[in-house]
Structure 1
Amino acid sequence: MPRVPNDLVGYVYEWLADDIAARIASGEMPPRSALPNERRLAEEYRVSLGTARHAVEILRERGLVTTIRSKGTFVVERETNR
């Protein structure tokens, strides 16, 4: 279970967004896969629900995920250069 580093400099929600983005980039969370819901993310990372919501918002702004109402939040399929 990931934990917020004790020596973190900066905001927890930015660290959380970066950690999830790294999981997406590594393929651990492939395109079209569902992210855990915000409550589950908060439990998994041991952060507040507001922090988890803010991190997901950052991921949406970065274009890494999209949220479909009543369905969930999903990793966006990225175009690759061929």
Structure 2
Amino acid sequence: MAETPIDPEAAEYVYRQVADRIAAEVAAGRLRPGARLPGERALAEQYGVAIGTARRAVEELRGRGLAVTLPSKGTFITSPPEQSEDV
């Protein structure tokens, strides 16, 4: 599957584009809870972005509740947050 490259000229922050791509992988079931994400350097290389951008994308994923980082272990995909059903 050919993926379109990250577009630095798009009207959206590059780190959010990277986070959105990873979130889409989670939503599609290609990244399951417990899966370890590549390190920041590897993510930067994979998406063709700076290391700081990859770091910010991981922060964004943590903020969305899609990932957790364990010091000295890595960053892992978490179970999707529970959707509250207001009736």
Task: Pick from 53, 56, 69 the counterpart of residue 55 of structure 2.
Answer: 53
Aligned to 1:9: 11
Q: Per chain length, whose mean CA-contact separation is higher, i.e. which structure has more relative contact order (CA < 8 Å, sep 6+)? A: 1
Cα RMSD (Å) of the superposition?
Answer: 1.9
Give the deviation of 1:5 after TM superposition: 3.1
Give the TM-score normalised by the residue count of structure 2.
0.83
Aligned to 2:32: 30
Give the deviation of 1:8 after TM superposition: 2.0
Q: Deviations over 1:36-75 (max 9, x none)?
A: 1111000000100000000000000000000000000000
Q: Could you tell me whether the CA contact under 8 Å between 2:68 and 2:77 is conserved in 1?
A: yes
Q: How many residues align?
A: 81
Task: Give unmatched runs, 5+ long, in structure 1.
Answer: none
Rg (Cα) greater in structure: 2
Aligned to 1:18: 20
Give the TM-score normalised by the residue count of structure 1.
0.88
Kindly tell me: are residues 60 and 80 of structure 1, through their superposed partners in 2, closer, same or farther at Cα, counting changes over 3 Å? closer
Identity %: 47
Aligned to 1:71: 73
Q: Deviations over 1:5-38 (max 9, x none)?
A: 3652211001111111001111111110001111
3-state SS in 2 of match to 1:70 = coil
Give the deviation of 1:80 after TM superposition: 6.4
Kindly tell me: are residues 42 and 69 of structure 1, through their superposed partners in 2, closer, same or farther at Cα, counting changes over 3 Å? same
